[in-house]
């Protein structure tokens, strides 16, 4: 009698753990995105890339005038960090993030975040403005909230 009861309890443990796991809230996700933005604008690449999962992917693309999406490429965390180090070595960026939508997953363990990004890039005596739509998935991990990566789609600035 004891053995079947133990078997049932052990089988239910993952469900109990999942049910007891804290659910993401919109304010937590907003705070996370703000931490990302602050780290990026401060040039704190260790802090910024520390907010991503090890398997995160960074995808860059552009929306053409006819609406087509033109892919530029996808990078891993180490590749994106190397590219950012090169960029920050000769330029400065100030990025403004405006969250447009946060969609919490039904299980409360992830959120899809859509934001508008406006970047002012200064380097080599030039200043330019770039605008993008960013989509990322934020997940709950044992280390806290982390992003699974982001897709930035360059768009015409309004």
CATH number at residue 143: 3.10.450.50
- What is the number of domains present in the chain? 1
pLDDT digits (tens, 9 = 90+) for 108-155: 999 999 999 999 999 888 999 999 999 999 999 999 999 999 999 999
Please name the residues in contact with 151: beta carbons below 8 A apart, sequence gap of 6 or more. Answer: 59, 60, 61, 134, 135, 136
pLDDT digits (tens, 9 = 90+) for 92-105: 999 999 999 999 99
Distance CA 100, CA 77 (A): 25
Average model confidence (pLDDT) across the chain: 90
Q: Residue 17 — pLDDT band, cuts 50, 70, 90? A: very low
Distance CA 53, CA 144 (A): 10
Q: Which domain holds residue 53?
A: 23-155
Least Cα distance to 147 among 75, 70, 55 occurs for: 55
Residue 79 lies in a domain: yes
Residue 145 pLDDT = 97
Residue 5 lies in a domain: no
For the cut 90, the answer to whether the pLDDT of residue 1 exceeds it is no
Residue 6 lies in a domain: no
Q: Residue 158 — pLDDT band, cuts 50, 70, 90? A: confident
Query: Mean pLDDT over residues 38-59, rounded?
Result: 97
Please name the residues in contact with 58: beta carbons below 8 A apart, sequence gap of 6 or more. Answer: 74, 75, 76, 77, 79, 80, 149, 150, 152
Residue 40 lies in a domain: yes
């Amino acid at each position: 009698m004891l053995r079947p009861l133990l078997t049932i309890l052990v089988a239910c443990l993952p469900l109990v753990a999942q049910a007891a796991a804290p659910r993401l809230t919109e304010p937590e996700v907003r705070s996370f995105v703000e931490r990302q933005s602050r780290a990026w604008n401060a040039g704190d690449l260790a802090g910024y890339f520390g907010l991503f999962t090890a398997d995160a992917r960074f995808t860059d693309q552009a929306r053409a005038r006819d609406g087509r999406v033109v892919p530029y490429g996808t990078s891993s965390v180490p590749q994106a960090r190397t590219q950012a180090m090169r960029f920050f070595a000769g330029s400065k960026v100030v990025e403004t993030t405006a969250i447009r939508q946060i969609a919490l997953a039904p299980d409360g363990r992830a959120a899809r975040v859509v934001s508008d990004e406006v970047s002012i890039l200064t380097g080599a005596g030039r200043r330019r403005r770039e605008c993008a739509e960013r989509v990322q998935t934020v997940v709950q991990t044992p280390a806290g909230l982390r992003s699974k990566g982001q897709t930035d789609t360059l768009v015409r600035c309004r």
